[in-house]
Amino acid sequence: MQRARQRVVEAAEQGARLICLPELFCSIYFCQQEDTRYFELAEPIPGYTTDFFSRLAKTANSVLVVPVFERSETGIYYNSLVVINRDGAIAGMYRKMHIPNDPQFQEKYYFTPGDLGFQAIQTPFGKIGPMICWDQWFPEAARLCALDGANVLIYPTAIGWLPGEKEGESKVYLDSWKTVQRGHAIANGVYTATVNRVGVEPDQSGNSEIEFWGHSFIADPRGRIISEASGEEEEIIYGRIEPELIFATRQTWPFFRDRRVDAYHKIVE
């Protein structure tokens, strides 16, 4: 928590007015294994973490996107985030809709799929569409946030290689991950901002590990990467959101105008 506070303050001092932390940043990535002890990490919203960052948002004069392992009032657990305005008030929240279940990404054991839908949340700096990690592969999610008015899609993330993958098709996986999100930017005429973990985390048995590949990046509405982190160390990256570029891009590529919603009914079957 203190480490995150230091980095938020640093970003704010450099002029950042919208700041996002990585997925489940308050702890190790505990989903590498199934263990009931990790439910003790969950907390309500509002709760300790949101209160901590609400105070910080006021002193930093910035909007904060803060992931939280949420325990709801009904005892259901979600992979969530809150958007905190610079006055410290919670502007909105999101619960991860798409929950993966892969080797060492055993999230279905811990999280119930979200029930708040895909939405744009109003902030003093425009509307943002927050989603989380696995959501970033689904074009429908990006489209719904953009149609709701989001100017930037934001994805707190924890993704990387399992042992042996980096020596194989590592570049293909990483390139696919970047490409699909650049595609969301192009298809919707918006910015995308993806905030990933970086470095190696062993599971608690010590028998395996994930190397989170970093490469957090920001893409503009034409799919150009305007800022990108390395894959080796923790960094803060910065990018400027230009509303004029969004409007100009949508004039050149009027995808929203030419949509055929009358022909898309099978997509929900």
Q: Pick the catalytic residue: 20, 133, 178, 211?
A: 133
Beta-carbon contacts of 196 under 8 Å, excluding residues fewer than 6 positions away, are 22, 157, 158, 159, 160, 212, 213, 214, 215, 216, 229
- Annotation says 23 is catalytic: yes
Q: Which residues of 230-256 are buried (b: 16+ CB within 10 A; e: fewer)?
A: ebeeeeebebebeeeebeebbeebeee
Per DSSP, 28 falls in state -
Q: Pick the catalytic residue: 20, 31, 70, 96?
A: 96
In whole angstroms, how far apart are CA 36 and each of 33, 47, 126, 179?
A: 10, 21, 40, 36
Q: CB count, 10 Å around CB of 115?
A: 10
How far is the C-alpha of 31 from the C-alpha of 96, rounded, in Å? 14
- Annotation says 178 is catalytic: no
Rounded to 5 degrees, φ, ψ at 32 are -65, -20
Q: Pick the catalytic residue: 23, 70, 107, 211?
A: 23
Closest to 150 measured CA to CA, from 79, 217, 89, 94 = 94
Q: CB count, 10 Å around CB of 263?
A: 8
Residues designated catalytic: 23, 96, 133
